[in-house]
């Protein structure tokens, strides 16, 4: 029985509020698990169990799968689709409402795998990144979001979240997925992105400041980096220009030109010029 027919037979109603688009293709499910590098030693955190198709595929390879699911209407569906899998735990709770302490305690070194709803992709990714949840994160996201996450400096897709991911680890797009692979089919194509955390990748002595500088640099993309630093950090033009000059870029440079490594150098130059993060 197809996933469409199965859900119809259980009279399941999709909730547009939760952005539900389930994966049904077995080959794609296996490919996502392979992309994530899941092995028999791994604990996997899944965000959004849906109908349990990816959950079950993960359970075939992992030691333990813990899946968060916000839609309690899926309780009877998941009881059936995950029946007999003794290494799966489903938590019917909004992942974003789980405490940091709880998540760090259970999933600090885990693999994270998720088919993320489009409407909440960025908040979930930022939480995983900033709170140190998961060393390896593999997510299905909207294709245009994947382009941003994996963009190179200087391009229109390059932004603050691109830099943040590059500061904390390495990001790759493992595959593009057509909209026809989901039920119901979304209006756009998707892609699988894998992030592997690399502790202190650039030996950054000022990570909190670097993060602030990155946010400031992209606050107003049409403005020069100098002007953004002056407005966002409250530094003088002389301090901003001195710090930028030490990175080797012209004083007219915009934030989207600098690499993650450049931002580490820029924050160090600001500290050298006397700036202190308040």
d(CA 66, CA 275): 44
- The share of the chain scoring above pLDDT 90, in percent, equals 83
DSSP H stretches of helix in 131-259: 143-149, 160-168, 207-217, 225-233, 237-247
Is residue 141 within 8 Å of residue 150, measured between CB atoms? no
**CATH code assigned to 207-272:** 1.10.8.100
> Which pLDDT value is given to residue 11?
75
User: Which pLDDT band holds residue 256 (cuts at 50, 70, 90)?
Assistant: very high
pLDDT at 6 over 90: no
Give me the residue spans of the domains in the chain: 3-197, 207-272
Looking at residue 151, what DSSP letter applies?
Answer: P
Average per-residue pLDDT for the chain: 93
pLDDT at 137 over 90: yes
**CATH code assigned to 3-197:** 3.40.50.150
User: Which pLDDT band holds residue 1 (cuts at 50, 70, 90)?
Assistant: low
Per-residue pLDDT tens digits for 163-214 = 999 999 999 999 999 999 998 888 899 999 999 999 889 999 999 999 999 9
pLDDT at 89 over 90: yes
Q: In this structure, what are the phi and psi dihedrals at residue 67, rounded to the nearest 5 degrees?
A: -115, 130
> Which pLDDT value is given to residue 109?
84
Per-residue pLDDT tens digits for 7-51 = 778 778 877 767 788 888 999 999 999 999 999 999 999 999 999
Is residue 108 within 8 Å of residue 133, measured between CB atoms? yes
pLDDT at 247 over 70: yes
- Region 123-143: mean pLDDT is 95
């Amino acid at each position: 029985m197809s996933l469409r027919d199965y859900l119809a037979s259980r009279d399941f109603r999709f909730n547009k509020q939760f952005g539900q688009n389930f994966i049904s293709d077995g080959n794609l499910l296996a490919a996502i698990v392979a992309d994530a590098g899941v092995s028999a030693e791994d604990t996997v955190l899944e965000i959004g169990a849906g109908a349990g198709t990816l959950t079950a595929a993960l359970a075939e390879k992992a030691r333990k799968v813990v899946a968060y699911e916000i839609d309690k209407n899926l309780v009877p569906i998941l009881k059936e689709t995950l029946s007999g899998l003794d290494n799966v735990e489903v938590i019917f709770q909004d992942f974003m409402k789980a405490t940091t302490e709880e998540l760090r305690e259970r999933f600090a070194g885990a693999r994270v795998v998720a088919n993320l709803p489009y409407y909440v992709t960025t908040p979930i990714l930022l939480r995983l990144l900033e709170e140190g949840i998961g060393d390896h994160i593999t997510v299905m996201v909207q294709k245009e979001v994947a382009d941003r996450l994996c963009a190179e400096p200087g391009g229109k897709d390059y932004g603050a979240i691109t830099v943040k991911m590059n500061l904390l680890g390495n990001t790759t797009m493992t595959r593009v997925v057509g909209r026809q692979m989901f039920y119901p089919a979304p209006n756009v194509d998707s892609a699988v992105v894998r992030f592997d955390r690399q502790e202190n990748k650039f030996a950054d002595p000022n990570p909190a400041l670097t993060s602030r500088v990155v946010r400031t640099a992209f606050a107003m993309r049409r403005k020069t980096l100098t002007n953004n630093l002056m407005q966002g950090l409250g530094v003088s033009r002389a301090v901003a220009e001195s710090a930028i000059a030490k990175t080797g870029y012209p004083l007219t440079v915009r934030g989207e030109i600098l690499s993650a490594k450049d931002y580490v150098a820029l924050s160090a130059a600001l500290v050298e010029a006397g700036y202190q993060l308040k």
